[in-house]
Chains A and B, each alone.
Chain A
């Protein structure tokens, strides 16, 4: 079983839609949960991180962690064509990041 599982998509939505991206993880000891965004042919950039359980909001983006079910989510409200990218979830194990496969998101105008 992989430490972090993520559906690679692609996910295609119309402009203005609410997007839900999800990952599951296997180790209940993990405490740091990240979402990175990667535009085509570029390096990833940190979008949001969450420590332990709960929600974190930043503008149109909300990161959510449910440690009881080992489930992490990223919600994008009012999605824009500029949000089209690959979204990678990651956990930090104290030494290194472990990434999911990444979900390709396409927002159509």
Chain B
């Protein structure tokens, strides 16, 4: 089955620790995205990548980092510099630009930092 997988579903970390969220897709999509969702705020874009070895900051990139070494993988690291990391994180992918409005989402990772 084609799709996007995110792991783990729930993640708990202590304050001050970096944590990496996994996102893998087997849809052969070129572009991948990371969003953060907080109650009442919709989805906010953290980073996106339209091709391998290239990525751009979204609206709320501070305290996060990404890499895109393989087409199918786009991991997100939440660093200790992120002041309020507890949130629901969603990964998405889409075909090459021109159809970027049809994004396919993974099931999400709920991160709790205490």
Cα distance, A41 to B105, chains bound together (Å): 12
Given the complex, which residues of B lie within 8 Å of A102, measured CB to CB? Answer: 42-43
- Max chain A C-beta neighbours (<10 A), residue from B40, B41, B43, B90: B43
Q: Given A99-B42, A101-B42, A102-B42, do A92 and B100 touch, yes or no (CB 8 Å)?
A: yes
Judged by a CB distance under 8 angstroms, whether B106 is at the interface is: yes
**Do A96 and B100 have beta carbons less than 8 Å apart?**
yes
**Do A97 and B42 have beta carbons less than 8 Å apart?**
no
- Max chain A C-beta neighbours (<10 A), residue from B42, B45, B50, B105: B42
Given the complex, which residues of A lie within 8 Å of B35, measured CB to CB? Answer: 99
Cα distance, A101 to B39, chains bound together (Å): 9
Chain A contact residue count (CB 8 A cutoff): 23
Given the complex, which residues of B lie within 8 Å of A59, measured CB to CB? Answer: none
Cα distance, A92 to B98, chains bound together (Å): 10
Given the complex, which residues of A lie within 8 Å of B50, measured CB to CB? Answer: 95
- Max chain B C-beta neighbours (<10 A), residue from A42, A96, A100: A96
Given the complex, which residues of A lie within 8 Å of B105, measured CB to CB? Answer: 43-45
Judged by a CB distance under 8 angstroms, whether A32 is at the interface is: yes
Given the complex, which residues of A lie within 8 Å of B33, measured CB to CB? Answer: 96-97
Given the complex, which residues of B lie within 8 Å of A6, measured CB to CB? Answer: 42
Cα distance, A8 to B48, chains bound together (Å): 26
Interface set of B (CB-CB < 8 Å, partner A): 4, 33, 35, 40-45, 48, 50, 58, 90, 92, 97, 100-108, 110
**Do B107 and A97 have beta carbons less than 8 Å apart?**
no
**Do B90 and A95 have beta carbons less than 8 Å apart?**
no
Q: Given A8-B40, A42-B108, do A49 and B102 touch, yes or no (CB 8 Å)?
A: yes
**Do B103 and A46 have beta carbons less than 8 Å apart?**
yes
**Do A49 and B101 have beta carbons less than 8 Å apart?**
yes
Within 8 A of B (CB), among A8-47: 8, 32, 34, 41-46
Cα distance, A49 to B100, chains bound together (Å): 12
**Do B97 and A97 have beta carbons less than 8 Å apart?**
no
- A86–chain B nearest beta-carbon distance, Å: 9
